[in-house]
Amino acid sequence: MKKEMSVRQIFIDTLEFIGNNKAILVFMTFLSFIGSYLPAALNIPLKNPFFGFLYVMYVYAFYFLFVALYCQNKPLITKEKIVDSFIKLIIITALSLCILICGKMFFHIIYKIGRGLVGFPDIYYALQKAYRFMVNHPYLKLVIYLGTTTLLSVSFFIPGFAWVATIDKKDNSIVSAYAKVKGNYLKIITSIFIIFGVLPLFVSFIELKSSILIMSLMHAMLAVFQIVAYLQIYDKFYPDEDKSSL
């Protein structure tokens, strides 16, 4: 039976889970810290295809291990889980990119239409004035940020439940992921916005004058909190036995 989702309860459950699993979460924070600190401290060029590939594989292994430990569906790591989850992630990423590209194309079409109105000075200059106002408005970036987070919630984070379900050996259909969260889109988008939108901004303010060590530690702690909170949302729609501890 599907549980009723509460944004407030998600964060209460997240803090409770962290409190009950300090040891393993400290270990996962250390792994995340290593992945953040070493490239910065050693000036490893992540734009280099080889190092970039190694970094992506390390990050993927970190999240796979985290989810496997959380779900506790034994055996935790199998060849089938690794292959199936990797394929699922590629599909989800491709889906998300397609939606983002369509969004970009939409604005490109609007721009082209606007350029085509140059023969109608009154309309053209009115639109140009409105555009300049929006660009210079202090709240525009917040609106764009919220819009991007909303789009990513729908195109990546919700179908991302199917990726977790692949490791958890449950219904891993992307279509089912959307069906399971039906009626809770606003709550999920709000939660995702706080977890992956507001919290990183808050952390970035703290990091403004911090050393690489402190920045990497903050990134690691944030990554662990984010994945735990995301998995708490997953649990609401893929209910299982109590997972208050790993």
For 240, the enclosing helix (H) or strand (E) is none
Residue 196 lies in a domain: yes
**Per-residue burial over 95-109, b = 16 or more CB atoms within 10 Å of its CB, e = otherwise:** ebeeeeeeeeeeeee
Residue 245 lies in a domain: no
Here the tokens at position 123 are 């309309």
Residue 1 lies in a domain: no
Four-residue CA torsion sign, 54, 57, 62, 65? negative
How far apart CA 193 and CA 145 sit, in angstroms, is: 9
The stretches in the chain having pLDDT less than 70 are 1-4, 107-108, 110-141, 206-209, 241-246
Helices 49-71 and 79-116 cross at an angle (nearest 10°) of 120
What is the per-residue pLDDT for 103?
Answer: 73
Q: Which 3 state secondary structure label does DSSP give 140? A: helix
Rg (CA), the chain: 21
Q: How far is CA 66 from CA 69, 96, 133, 219, in A?
A: 5, 23, 45, 16
* C-alpha distance across the termini of the chain, in Å: 23
How far apart CA 184 and CA 157 sit, in angstroms, is: 13
Look up the pTM and report it. Answer: 0.84
Four-residue CA torsion sign, 67, 71, 72, 78? negative
What is the per-residue pLDDT for 150?
Answer: 84
Which residues, including other chains, have CB under 8 Å from residue 94's CB and lie 6 or more apart? none
Residue 69 lies in a domain: yes
> Which residue reads 């970039």 in tokens?
52
Residue 242 lies in a domain: no
145: number of Cβ within 10 Å: 14
pLDDT digits (tens, 9 = 90+) for 133-181: 666 666 666 777 777 888 888 899 999 999 999 999 999 999 999 999 9
What is the per-residue pLDDT for 47?
Answer: 87
Q: Which domain holds residue 230?
A: 7-237
> What's the total number of domains in the chain?
1
Residue 244 lies in a domain: no
At position 229, the amino acid (one-letter code) is A
Residue 94 lies in a domain: yes
Residue 199 lies in a domain: yes
**Per-residue burial over 34-52, b = 16 or more CB atoms within 10 Å of its CB, e = otherwise:** ebbbebeeeeeeeeeeeee
pLDDT digits (tens, 9 = 90+) for 109-121: 766 666 666 555 6
Here the tokens at position 140 are 């525009």
